[in-house]
Structure 1
Amino acid sequence: MHKLKLAVGLGAVAYFATVAVVDNFDQQLSESRAEVGIAPSINALSADAFAIMNNNGCAYCHTSDSDMPFYGQLPVAKQLMDSDVERGTRHFNIEGMMTQVREGELVSELELAKLESVLDDGSMPPPLYLSMHWRSKLSSEETATLRDWVKQERMRHHINSAAKNDFKYDAVQPITTEFEVDMAKVELGNKLFHDTRLSGDNTVSCASCHSLATGGVDRLTTSLGVNNAVGPINAPTVYNAVFNSHQFWDGRAADLQAQAGGPPLNPLEMASESWHQISEKLLADEDMQQAFAAIYDEGITEHTITDAIAEFEKTLVTPNSRFDQFLRGDEAALSADEKEGYALFKQHKCATCHVGEAMGGQGFEVMGLKKDYFAERGNVTDVDNGRFNVTGDPADMHRFKVPTLRNVALTAPYFHDGQAATLEQAVDQMAYYQVGVKLTASEISKITAYLETLTGEYQGQLLQ
């Protein structure tokens, strides 16, 4: 018994001594980060939020370049800490958010939703981490401050939010943004979007894969190009693409114009030999030549063609869905099941990634965050690498742009590989692979019913 007490006593001494060392390092690390400084213009609430996230050690596991204590290089400790960092950054890398806060920039709605999510379920910091980092536990006052900060930042995105008070601070907002456009360019871009001369054999247009009559997609598993060449990936909708932070599933295009420049020369899509070939065909059309000359001094070039198409695509916004009407205060716009579906959508963390007016498009997430999607699906190809193909960063392996959910009932099949044939199947698999939850048939039905209310209007007419 004496030996047991001695062992317990020595263990306790060792534990408290280790905690003291860790605490001392935590304090030094927080002070060094604070010395980086924040923008003088940052408001008090943002400064408080930054201090809380800095002082409570969020950067330990949620950044890829955090300073680690000396014991982080010791056997076992290193493996455990490396695993924690890999898992933490896989779910939520806060480097960008911390920089945005420190510099007073607009913080990503996606990252605001992730922070709000862990505040709601109290999952951060986890118990094992707190066992060694006592100071990192969020107090009720700190939690309240972070919640208030999330609301403040969300309102910076939606200054003129049309949502009624119950939904004013939700991660999802009704579509209200109106994009300024040059109507002459829009008219020209509309013609070019539907012009098959952008393809090598004059058979395929942008609208071939992104038909405005079928939800902005072709409703194929993967798209078909010139001579029915089979593409490797499912065509995302062109509707509401203007809200996306990047274009394409892997985000290789920074904006709509860069995206418009990709398919014409892709051999599996429009298969033109060069922009010179395309320009020569359009130059032979006197009306087209005059249309370009009236807008662009340089005439018909790659830049002017893609600029006009991008300007047209800015107009492909679909507001006034039944869900938008509900958020604006029309209780009768949704049925009881549809309202419950929205509640389940939020309960099961769907609104953590599908945020903002477009309900998606603001960032990239790992496909199979909780369960290994690709191991279970099999037949993995290069296209399944996702964002990794653009950045080369191992942390981006299998990471894809979060798609918009607007008009989602019209855009089957789903996912980058088109493997979910129905909306019900997509709901079931997203909950399983991304959230780690197995939904009941009733839950799937109600969430699906809710998603069907997201179909909006284009040019005043409800999409079909």
Structure 2
Amino acid sequence: MKRKERRKRIGTVAWKIFGSFLMLIGVGIFVSRLVNKPPSDKLSKMEQMEVIIDEGGCMYCHAGPEYASHRIHWPVVGYLIEKDAKRGIRFSNMSHAFEQLYQKKSITQPVLYKLQKIALNRSMPPLSFQLAHWKSPLIKGKRDILLDWIYNRLSEDYDVPYPVTHALFQPIQPLPDTLPTDPLKAALGRSLYYNLSCASCHNPETGGTDNLPFSIGVHNQPSETSTLT
């Protein structure tokens, strides 16, 4: 009899905890819908992006803990946020991209495609992060602003057709017809390529190969494979 009563009490407590958790999620979703609004149309595109990044807590999870909000000190919720942040920085460290953005410099194409993928499948931020950051969900208005900004950057910086949806989820992304080059870096690369003996096997004048069935390796010994191009 006592065991049944104990089990009943444990079950009641468990249901109360579970119910409280569901209520917390429900309240979070309700409050989020009330306070989470797209940036004002009066702001410039850059200012709108800054609002989305700030409200989304993007920099904390993808640039470093120095951008953490005060919510990191909340019990339970703070632990979840910190866990999400560690996973986020490990998955994608975008500190350089944020730096380029705020300095109004071109962001690399892979980063732009990654942002586009996130915006289209709404994979960020995770639910546990949204519970404490009610303005972080990428609602339709914010999503449209983000995608429009991405498409403009791809079009203006890389002459990529607008908008881009083909090959979005492919590991190899389309390259622009031309890429900016630094003559000094190019000269250094050429010097290293030849000085480190790369060209002895991967000769640019013969299509990147040495035309031998088995390449000659260290100590002038033949290897077991041909040169890869």
Q: CA deviation at 1:128?
A: 2.9
1:176 counterpart = 2:178: yes
The equivalent residue for 1:306 is none
Distance verdict in 2 for CA 1:86–1:209, change over 3 Å: farther
* 1:396-443 CA-partner distances (Å, limit 9, x unpaired): xxxxxxxxxxxxxx74xxxxxxxxxxxxxxxxxxxxxxxxxxxxxxxx
SS in 1 for 2:104: coil
* 1:184-217 CA-partner distances (Å, limit 9, x unpaired): x98xx98x7897xx57xxxxx4412432266536
1:131 counterpart = 2:131: yes
CA contact (8 A) 2:81 2:128 kept: no
Q: Which runs of 5+ in 2 are unaligned?
A: 1-7, 37-42, 222-226
Distance verdict in 2 for CA 1:216–1:108, change over 3 Å: same
1:11 counterpart = 2:20: yes
The equivalent residue for 1:115 is 115
Q: Which runs of 5+ in 1 are unaligned?
A: 28-42, 200-204, 230-234, 236-409, 412-464
Q: In the aligned structure 1, how far is the partner of 2:18 from the partner of 2:176?
A: 60
The equivalent residue for 1:69 is 70
Aligned pairs for 1:304-383 within 5 A: none
Aligned equivalent of 2:219, options 200, 218, 227: 227
The equivalent residue for 1:103 is 103
TM-score (norm 1): 0.32
The equivalent residue for 1:47 is 47
Q: CA deviation at 1:226?
A: 4.6
CA contact (8 A) 2:60 2:85 kept: yes
Aligned pairs for 1:201-350 within 5 A: 205-212=197-204, 216=208, 226-228=218-220
Q: CA deviation at 1:142?
A: 0.7
Q: In the aligned structure 2, how far is the partner of 1:88 from the partner of 1:210?
A: 39
SS in 2 for 1:136: coil
CA contact (8 A) 1:57 1:136 kept: yes
Distance verdict in 2 for CA 1:144–1:206, change over 3 Å: same
CA contact (8 A) 1:50 1:101 kept: no
* 1:349-375 CA-partner distances (Å, limit 9, x unpaired): xxxxxxxxxxxxxxxxxxxxxxxxxxx
The equivalent residue for 1:370 is none
Q: CA deviation at 1:168?
A: 9.6
Q: CA deviation at 1:68?
A: 4.4
CA contact (8 A) 2:62 2:88 kept: yes
CA contact (8 A) 2:112 2:150 kept: yes
Distance verdict in 2 for CA 1:193–1:151, change over 3 Å: same
CA contact (8 A) 1:208 1:218 kept: yes
Bigger mean CA deviation after superposition, 126-135 or 45-54:
126-135
Bigger mean CA deviation after superposition, 112-121 or 95-104:
95-104
* 1:302-357 CA-partner distances (Å, limit 9, x unpaired): xxxxxxxxxxxxxxxxxxxxxxxxxxxxxxxxxxxxxxxxxxxxxxxxxxxxxxxx
* 1:24-79 CA-partner distances (Å, limit 9, x unpaired): xxx9xxxxxxxxxxxxxxx92122112111112222322222224365485x6665
CA contact (8 A) 1:106 1:156 kept: no
Q: In the aligned structure 2, how far is the partner of 1:71 from the partner of 1:193?
A: 47
Paired residue type of 1:69:
H
Q: In the aligned structure 2, how far is the partner of 1:120 from the partner of 1:179?
A: 32
Distance verdict in 2 for CA 1:12–1:125, change over 3 Å: closer
CA contact (8 A) 1:63 1:85 kept: no
Distance verdict in 2 for CA 1:178–1:56, change over 3 Å: closer
Q: In the aligned structure 2, how far is the partner of 1:145 from the partner of 1:98?
A: 17
SS in 1 for 2:135: helix
Q: In the aligned structure 2, how far is the partner of 1:8 from the partner of 1:82?
A: 22
The equivalent residue for 1:145 is 145
Q: In the aligned structure 2, how far is the partner of 1:57 from the partner of 1:194?
A: 43
CA contact (8 A) 2:125 2:136 kept: yes
Q: CA deviation at 1:154?
A: 1.6
Q: CA deviation at 1:155?
A: 2.4
Q: CA deviation at 1:89?
A: 1.1
Distance verdict in 2 for CA 1:51–1:89, change over 3 Å: same
Q: In the aligned structure 1, how far is the partner of 2:182 from the partner of 2:98?
A: 31
CA contact (8 A) 1:50 1:98 kept: no
Distance verdict in 2 for CA 1:216–1:7, change over 3 Å: same
Q: CA deviation at 1:10?
A: 9.1
Q: In the aligned structure 1, how far is the partner of 2:64 from the partner of 2:99?
A: 14
Relative to total residues, which structure has the larger helix share, 1 or 2? 2
TM-score (norm 2): 0.59
Distance verdict in 2 for CA 1:217–1:100, change over 3 Å: farther
Q: In the aligned structure 2, how far is the partner of 1:149 from the partner of 1:166?
A: 11
The equivalent residue for 1:86 is 86
